[in-house]
Structure 1
Amino acid sequence: MDKRNTAAILPLDGEWDFAYTRLAPDPEHAVFPGEEEYETRIPVPAYWDDCQDRMNFTKFWSRDCLINPDYRPPAFPIGLNPPDASLPTMIGTGWYHRTFTAEAAWADSCVTLQIGGVALEAWVWLNGEYIGHHLGHLTPFELELNRGLKPGEANELIIAVSNGRKDVLGCSIRGFKGKGGGITRSVCIRTAGKAGLGNCYVRTDQSLHSLYWEIGVRRSGYSIQTLSLDWAVTDGEEGAVSSELPVIACGTAASSDGDFTWTTETFGLKPWSDVSPRLYRLEFTLRDGSTILDHKEQAFGLRYAESREKALYLNNVPIFLRGITEHAYFPETCTVPTQRSYYRKAILSLKSMGYNWIRFHTWVPPEECLIEADRLGMLMQVEAPNGFTESEFLDILITCRRHPCVILYCCGNEVQIDDTMEEKLKRMSEHCHRLAPDCLYNPMSALFNIELRMDEKESGYTKNPVPHNAVRLARVEAFSDALSPWIGLFSYHSMFHDMDKLNGRFSIYHHPCMIHEAGINDSWLNLDLEHRYEGTRIGTSLYAAARAYMTKMGVVKNSPLYYLNSCRWMSLTAKFSLEKARLLSSVSGYDYLGGIDCHWHRTGYAVGMFNEFYEPKPGFAPEDVISYNGESVLLTNCTPHRNLQTGEAFSADIFVSLYGPNPIKRGLLSWYLEDENRRICARGGWEVRDVPNGSVTPLGTVHAVAPAVGGRGAHLKLRVRLSGEYTELTNHWDYWVYPNGTKKEEFSGIRVTDRLDRESLSYMSEGGRILLLGSGPFPALLTTFQLMTGGRVDGNCATVIYDHPLTRQFPQEGFCDWQFYSMLEGGEAVVFNNLDIPFDPILEVVSSYKLIRRQAGIFELAVGKGGLLVCALNMHNNEPGTVSLYNSMIRYLSSDEFRPKTAVTDRWLCSIMDSGYNTTPELAKIVYEDMGGQVHGSSDLYSQIR
């Protein structure tokens, strides 16, 4: 193909004159800054806040500029609803000015100004004439310049950029980066011939046998009777010299009335998918007779996404979306990176754990990310920010639709769907289905006012089978392809395990469902990462504030252990939640919150399987995560109750969630039970046949008997493998077995009670030993096996079991694994903050680092000649683990090893008993939705800016 091109690029990156005003311009009556007001020069592209050294001596910086009024430095302890972390960004309007020389030949050219991105909107003037306005911070844009251009002369270009909008909010403009202003991407002038190529979009349909071509043309007012368009599909790696690429197909299209549209076959092109991301190149050359006017090239992937009943399909193959919630946190750059290497590392890291989908929470990734996702096979959902305008949504569609990685378009996060919003969602659906019919429309991430926070008096509200607005749901489903229900039973209440009720919860939906934000569990802060923030725009302030508070509270030395054990607890919760989701036949995916820690949110948000540098956290080895987060996974119906006694028969139903192109016609399922020394206790297996793909299928039941174990008991793993012609899957589940016997032991001289009185004190003073079950007179908070919610203040994020004569008698690995489920549920932890005695727990329950409480689930005190062992955990059941721990405490109390380090007096205990401590747990109301992500009315301060 002849590609001699009259098109040319004039780069405008570099230094621009810069002025500042608080107010945004009135484009029809613009008052431009005077020459003296352009007090400095700043680079393009750049954010204003990265150029502060250029502004320090300007008058506007000293007197006039507005600094982010929401800024406050991180500090701990913090209140119950922590704000997003922020920086003192400059707010207002930046005026960019420069001149350029237009070639005389441009008089007969199509001339466009191309701007890669601004934050948050821009107005453009050429030679004093208003050219246009762009609203939005997520997409590039271009404006035609022919109207005001002076060919062969110097031309004056002014771009005003304002970041004062208060009516829009999304993750890429929240937190440390905030609504930082600037021309954030490259600027250039592009010239073509008398006509130029516009947007180029090629798609297929469900059959994968046809290509539909839509190529836009700009004519710039010139009369051209007939244009022709040479097109070609070539095969080759990105970056190769296009003239050397093998041509798969080519042809010529003609048009006399504007844009080009035509249909062809697919020429044997192989489909693009997350498993096989096959890309080709498209080439377009626009001609007027023999004169070449313009030329463009772009990548192409043959891909079609659709929903069928409650299932998702990609290229007619059933697919399960294993996604993460992308919160736009970038510790090294603060603002959205522009390096492809960053996104390549991120995507490869996520794929190593089995993820095939990224949900971009209220934002759209840059072109560099989309290119890498196309190359590597990562599916994406892009979301308009909350408060978006119709034009912004259209820009998102046009920008993203040529990337095969983008299969879902969504209109925001957790916005109340009232009548007005419902109508808006319907209009966006029409745009999506018209402009990107090979993709899917997901109206809103979480369906507020349909399934949560409903008006019970509104028409359509029902409680059957679960509370929801059936009428509004039916209307929304009528224009949607997929849904993202808010189901807190995979996040805030992830230990819930009644599968029948969960299936009932999903029965109200008739479209494929991707669970909205599974996970949201918090870990302790890893202080070892603090130094990696040195010299960055974000800086070390959050980590330094947390370190200072931990030091003040005397826990900083334990911080590495708290972090390790919190991650171990998080890994248990993640596996349980995601396996539970995979068991549900009505679920087609989930976005797990989170992929990485995102510390701008709620001033510390350690919810990731990776830390913020895409390094796996402890407990999240990729080979382990992929066993429950891969394309296909083995599952079981085991509950959180994992304790057995010797000789107890138990069973586990085994299922497979099988996806990909192939069913299993014939396979072998094998299993074995091994102890901590990797000795096999039992094994078995059977043949499986005709397992369909795209569904959850029961494979049979493992039947086993808990083996005989000595002494303290043992930790067992049930390991299962499924082998088929195209399938090799493994997974495992943990159990604990204890020596035979469920009877709680009694020893003379050991008193067991749930309360202390004066007689108890006398008994201990004379040498008696007491086991106190429950918190007794001590201040305490409830415990649960539910890991605390991300970013919050209340709740617990770790447990520590210290080396101690008591704990050596019980099977444990330094933290409370599933064997403690029944004891933590409904248990308590004694709070030592105001007890004025040394904190020396045997079993510690670790609170949030944002509001540190020194808590002990088990501790001991010497009282007179005797002593007190306190176990505030839930010991009011007879399951094997509880009985074993109870008996271990009785034996320990009766032994010579009982020698508490901390001694208290009768008087001190009397003061505790008489103090009237309120032992009612200080349970804060959980704020489920992201209140910081909602758009509210403009404040007076911001309304002045706009």
Structure 2
Amino acid sequence: MLLAAGCRQSADRFTETMDLSGEWRFELDRDGKGMEEEWFSRDLSDKVQLPGTTDENQKGDFIDERAEDRLSRVWYWKGAAWYQREIDIPDSWQGKRVQLFLERTKDTHVWLNGTYCGYENTLSAPQYFEMTKAVVPGKNVVTVLVDNAKLPPVGPSHAVDERTQTNWNGIVGKMELQATDPVWVDGVQAYPDVENNRVRLRIKIGNLTQSDASGKITLQAETWNTEKTIHFEKHVEQVQQLSQGESDVFVDFGFDKQAPLWDEFDPALIRVMVALETESGDDRYQHATWVDFGMREFKREGKFLMNNGNRVFLRGRIDCANFPLTGYAPMDRESWLEMFRTLKSYGINHWRFHSWFPPKEALTAADMVGVYLQPELPNKRSGMDQRSMEQEEVRKIYNVDYLELEGSKINLTLKEYLEKEADLIFRHFGNHPSFTLFTLGNELGRNQAMYDLVATFKADDPRRLYAQGSNNMHWEPSFAEGDDFWVIGATADSLPVRGSFAYISKNAPFGHINEQSPSTLVNFAPSIAHVEVPVIGHETGQFQVSPDFNEIPKYTGVTRARNYELFQERLEKANMLDQADDFVKASGKLAVICYREDIEAALRTPDFGGFQLLDIMDFPGQGTAPVGILNVFMQSKGLVTPEEWRQFCSEVVPLLKMEKYTWTNKETFEASLDVAHYGPRDLVNTKINWQLSDLSGKVLAEGSQNAGTISRGALQEIGEIRIPLAEVKGPQQVKVSVAIADTPYKNTYDLWIYPDEIDTSVPSDMMVSRRLDESTKHHLEKGGKAILFPELDRLPKSIEGAFITDFWSWPMFARGAANRGVDPAPGSLGFLCAPESPLFNHFPTDFHSNWQWWHLVKNSRPIILDETSADYRPLIQTIDNFGRNHKLGTVFETSYGSGSLLVCAIDLPNLMDLPEARQLYYSMLKYVESDQFSPVFEIDRAVLRRLVP
């Protein structure tokens, strides 16, 4: 790293900078007259700290809003805001080229000493303003107008959406003046040539002198972010006729030693210092800068994503720009390093930025950690002719002089804006090896202009892969010819590439996890068979977890969790707030189970490109979607450890393929074993160990088999596992684990073993009824015991049974269902029970739903018990969503006169062909027969008649 430090010193020597962070004068332009009244020529009256936003500086309107569908802003400003500061320019800058650098802001005009210096409205790249002609030695006044009400015609992209990072006003990141000699290196683009162990450099040289310049470029390179630094031989290139304005110099820099390659496992980076020495007439100029890049070739080969000739499987998440403390993305490297390393510990190697582009330090951190990024243009619109403002509106707002200077940027069509934005993105971020995929935005339509944009980008910068968008045309899926990859939820009607959908989706209502009998056999091969490019699953998962109200005090920044506060109040009103933490745990455990199946289904698909989870962390906006195993601060909810998650989400995953999770002890457990191997190298002379054990860890059966060489970059079949279950005493939950010897790679599956035959005869003193009819009531009145299995279609106060937790946000999709005239989703989040209850003495269970419950809960109708007393709790309590908060009983009990009644809203009598149903029925009989069955509560008779007529 010594040369890297030297590079920085050289660049600092030749690029002088003046940090502009600190206190600035400030004023809000509430009437929008600042431009007309020339506020740039007077002193502003207020003060703020920059970098920062009006929210962080508590400027604007104190609204402390109470939003239900997103986080709430405390301070709000949308409109023109003026920022001003005096700066002292040293005499040594006389004759220098001087520019203002603002790393990230919005629609911006800049003046220096009253002289207009330009306009910019990029949402993705740094903004530069030329000040050379206006700057003078000594006191100068820089004035900046930022107007977050004037946005490009990009729609509610996550770059500006109030539901994500908010449409903030301010300036964030680095703010500085930069001074160089008038002949300087204006930028360097690095194009790796992996095959020939070299890099082609396109060096842009600026020249503000009045004559041509000539000289030499000295290149010196070394690796960094590597275990051992490699120094490469220096290269000198003579340059002639550097004309006024800009010139491009192309240099092929061949490495004298083998340059290490960049990938997710060995993210080696190379830094090249570019030192320019020139002459123009009698004047001598110097400038130096550097470029960081990685030697990698990311491309597609048929259906596969390839990096340096090796297949890549993307295990991704979607970054929807939720940053509740600041309202904007971190601008420092350490924050991004922490985030990338955290998610790498969960096996994530891919990160999509949903309709926004991250700051430079995010890409640098991804380069260092080894993460494949898919940033996007800040766009959620398809109409390429749309403008943010009509020409007359522009003329009313801006002075004609400014319009003449910068009008080409002010009044762009969407297509023109995206072209400009992409050009800036490629210029400022194109060298980052982590920048591997790029699209025009999220869930767009399709038109010829979009084909043209993708074709242009591919021709202009071939260092990555391109597509028109993510989940474009999802209402009628079809592939856009010319795209390099396809991010989609379903490739056609009933051809899904993920395991869950909104209930109102026509592609595959709910998805296979809720609709097909549970197994580990499902994959998406039929859905991608007709597609010739890599397919990546769009917004995989979306399994909702009950809100964790313990997070509320963490919102100490510019937003507040008023939505969570409201949900907490609702749960308290429903008399269930004391159960909130248990609801989080139970729903969260089920969500992990569902995420696992979705991820493994993707891994079981031989030619799949990967998946993008929405999300591994919560999305507290756009309806409020607590769908993460991590909260929005990327902190664990205690649902699953990184080590447990990596068993099924990692570069190498052993996979069992079995037809079911529930077995009898007369059967032989059969499963085939595959290994999804996308690790760094082949696994040679491997042995696979398997083991069947009970929950105490006692080994019931074990074995191993030689697997030979498991090649990287494929899903490989290994062999079969057969385990006779006659010696397994049921009923019990067991675990079957598979591990690749001498590696960290293992996977564990839950199984449930039941007796093949069991006595389900009803004791003579007990009744089992389908209706609470007169004979059942009479039996109870006489002090008898009864189990009631109400006919599900006769339950007026109940909801539909479901296995998966609700998709995304029930209120949001319930409104969508109403608009379509269809029933909403069940909206439940699994169930909560007490495994130690005597009800389960003969039916092993966790406190949450698991696969042995799938058929049972799918054939149930949880009953709405809102009319019962505040402290009444069912034995199996289905968890409702935050928008409804019903007390839901799947199994509950009540005294009835001198008798006792157990109500089960599972249609067990019609499921007796299933071993799990027989076993639960038997356990219920034994419980009701026992002295332990003595309900404390009595549900009011009138209420009970309404619940189970």
TM over 0.5: yes
Give distance in 2, aligned partners of 1:620 and 1:513.
Answer: 28
The match for 2:318 is 325
- Rounded to whole Å, the distance in 2 between the matches of 1:210 and 1:238 is 18
When residues 87 and 443 of structure 1 are mapped into structure 2, their CA distance, relative to the original with a 3 A threshold, is: farther
Given candidates 111, 116, 121, the residue that maps to 1:130 is: 116
Q: Over the residues paired in the alignment, what is the CA RMSD in angstroms?
A: 2.9
Q: Aligned to 2:85, what secondary structure does the other structure show?
A: strand
Among residues 635, 647, 663, which one is paired with 1:627 in the alignment?
647
- Cα distance, 1:880 vs. partner? 1.0
Say whether residues 1:149 and 2:134 are aligned partners.
yes
TM-score normalised by length of structure 2: 0.85
Please say if 1:393 is aligned against 2:422: yes
Using the TM superposition, give the Cα deviation of residue 674 of structure 1 relative to its aligned residue in structure 2, in angstroms.
0.7
1:160–1:431 Cα change, 3 Å: farther
Is 1:49 the counterpart of 2:55? The answer is yes
* Aligned counterparts, 1:156-195, within 5 A: 156-165=141-150, 167-168=153-154, 169-174=156-161, 175=163, 177-195=165-183
* Equivalent residues of 1:742, 1:879 under 8 A apart: no
Q: Secondary structure at the match of 2:783?
A: coil
Quick check: 1:434 aligned with 2:459? yes
Superposed displacement of residue 836, structure 1: 5.6
* Contact 1:235/1:248 (8 A) holds in 2: no
1:373 alignment partner, SS class? helix
- Alignment match, 2:918: 883
- Find the counterpart in structure 1 of residue 800 from structure 2: 782
Q: For residues 576-655 of structure 1, what are the structure 2 equivalents within 5 Å?
A: 576-603=597-624, 605-639=625-659, 641-655=660-674
Please give the secondary structure, in 1, of the residue aligned with 2:55: helix
Task: Please list, as runs of the form range in 1=range in 2, the aligned pairs for 1:878-917 lying within 5 A after superposition.
Answer: 878-904=913-939, 909-910=944-945
1:817 paired residue among 846, 850, 871: 850
The counterpart of 1:232, out of the listed 210, 220, 227, is: 220
Structure 2: segments with no counterpart, 5+ residues = 1-5, 382-413, 491-495, 502-510, 812-825
In structure 2, the residue matched to 1:198 is 186
SS at match of 1:657: strand
Matched residue SS, 1:551: helix
How far the C-alpha of 1:284 sits from its partner, in A, is 0.9
Distance in structure 2 (CA, Å) of the matches to 1:253 and 1:434: 28
> In the alignment, which of 728, 745, 753 is matched to residue 729 of structure 1?
745
- Deviations, residues 769-808 of structure 1 (Å, cap 9, x unaligned): 3322245556111121111112334612241112422122
Alignment of 1:506-905 (within 5 A): 506-533=528-555, 535-603=556-624, 605-639=625-659, 641-710=660-729, 713-723=731-741, 729-741=745-757, 744-774=760-790, 775=792, 777=795, 779-793=797-811, 795-802=827-834, 803-835=836-868, 839-875=872-908, 876-877=910-911, 878-904=913-939
Contact 1:393–1:428 (CA under 8 A) maintained in structure 2: no
Distance apart, 1:592 and its partner CA:
1.2
Q: 1:910 to 1:582 in 2, by over 3 A?
A: closer
Amino acid at match of 2:753: V
User: Relative to 1, partners in 2 of residues 1:840 and 1:155: Cα closer, same or farther, differing over 3 Å?
Assistant: closer
Query: What does residue 312 of structure 1 align with?
Result: 305
Q: How far did residue 165 of structure 1 move? A: 3.6
Indicate if the aligned counterparts of 1:667 and 1:687 stay in contact, CA closer than 8 A. Answer: yes
Deviation, structure 1 residue 846: 0.6
Distance 1:245 1:144 in 2: 38
Cα pair 1:443 1:483 within 8 Å, conserved = no
How many percent identity over aligned positions? 20
Shift of the 874–155 alpha-carbon distance from structure 1 to 2, 3 Å rule, reads same
8 A contact 1:131–1:143 mirrored in 2:
yes
Query: Is contact 2:276-2:288 (8 Å) kept?
Result: yes
Displacement of 1:375 in angstroms is 1.7
Which whole-Å deviations, capped at 9, do the CAs of 1:103-161 have from their partners, x for residues lacking one? 5554533222211111x211223344433221122221213223x42444644432211
How far does the alpha carbon of each residue in 1:630-684 deviate from its partner, in whole angstroms, 9 at most, with x for none? 1111112235x41111121221111111123433453222211111121222222
Deviation at 1:380, TM superposition (A): 1.2
**Structure-2 residue corresponding to 1:367:** 360
Contact kept in structure 1, 2:878 and 2:888, CA below 8 Å? yes
866-875 vs 499-508, greater mean Cα deviation: 499-508
Partner residue in 2 for 1:404: 433
2:481 to 454, 477, 490: 477
TM superposition shift of 1:47: 0.3
Q: Secondary structure at the match of 1:406?
A: coil
User: Which stretches in structure 1 are left out of the alignment for 5+ residues?
Assistant: 56-60, 76-81, 455-467, 915-946
Structure 1 CA distance for aligned equivalents of residues 543 and 32 of structure 2: 41
Q: Do structure 1's residue 12 and structure 2's residue 20 form an aligned pair?
A: yes
Q: Quick one: structure 1 residues 873 and 108, their matched pair in 2 at CA, closer, same or farther if it must change by over 3 Å?
A: same
Amino acid at match of 2:427: I
Give, in angstroms, the shift of residue 551 of structure 1.
Answer: 1.9
Q: 868-877 or 779-788, which moves further after superposition?
A: 868-877
312-321 or 99-108, which deviates more: 99-108
Alpha-carbon distance change, 707 to 813 in structure 1, aligned in 2, over 3 angstroms: farther
Which AA in structure 1 matches 2:160? I
- Is the counterpart of residue 418 in structure 1 residue 443 in structure 2? no
Question: Which residue of structure 1 aligns with residue 817 of structure 2?
Answer: none
Which residues in structure 2 correspond to 1:58-137 (within 5 Å)? Answer: 72-74=65-67, 82=69, 85-103=72-90, 106=93, 108-118=95-105, 120-137=106-123
Would the aligned equivalents of 1:382 and 1:408 in 2 still touch at CA under 8 Å? yes
Mean CA deviation greater in 608-617 or 177-186: 608-617
Paired residues of 1:208 and 1:315 also in contact (CA < 8 A) = no
Residues 803 and 830 in structure 2, CA contact (< 8 A), matched pair in contact too: no
How far apart are residue 87 of structure 1 and its match? Answer: 4.7
Aligned position for 1:353: 346
Matched, 1:262 2:262: no
Q: Quickly say closer, same or farther: Cα 1:660–1:556, change in 2 above 3 A.
A: same
- Partner SS for 2:425: helix
Match of 2:195 among 204, 207, 215: 207
Does the CA-based 8 Å contact 1:864-1:906 persist in structure 2? no
**Do the aligned partners of residues 854 and 230 (structure 1) sit closer, same or farther apart at CA in structure 2, a change above 3 Å counting?**
same
Change (3 A) 1:253 1:714: farther
Correspondences of 1:247-286 after superposition (within 5 Å): 247-257=232-242, 258-267=247-256, 268-286=258-276
Letter paired with 2:248: D
Q: Does the Cα contact within 8 Å between 1:647 and 1:708 map onto a contact in 2?
A: no
Query: In the alignment, residue 678 of structure 2 is paired with which amino acid?
Result: Y
Q: CA deviation at 1:488?
A: 6.7
Structure 1 residues 511 and 34 mapped into 2: Cα distance closer, same or farther (>3 Å)?
closer
Judge conservation of contact 2:107–2:147 (CA < 8 Å) in 1.
yes
Per the alignment, in what secondary structure is the counterpart of residue 348 of structure 1?
helix
Contact 1:310-1:512 at 8 Å conserved across structures: yes
Structure 2: distance between partners of 1:322 and 1:909:
49
Give the partner amino acid of 2:554: R
CA positional deviation for 1:856? 0.9
Q: CA deviation at 1:761?
A: 2.1
Instruction: Measure, in 2, the Cα distance between the counterparts of 1:441 and 1:163.
Output: 29
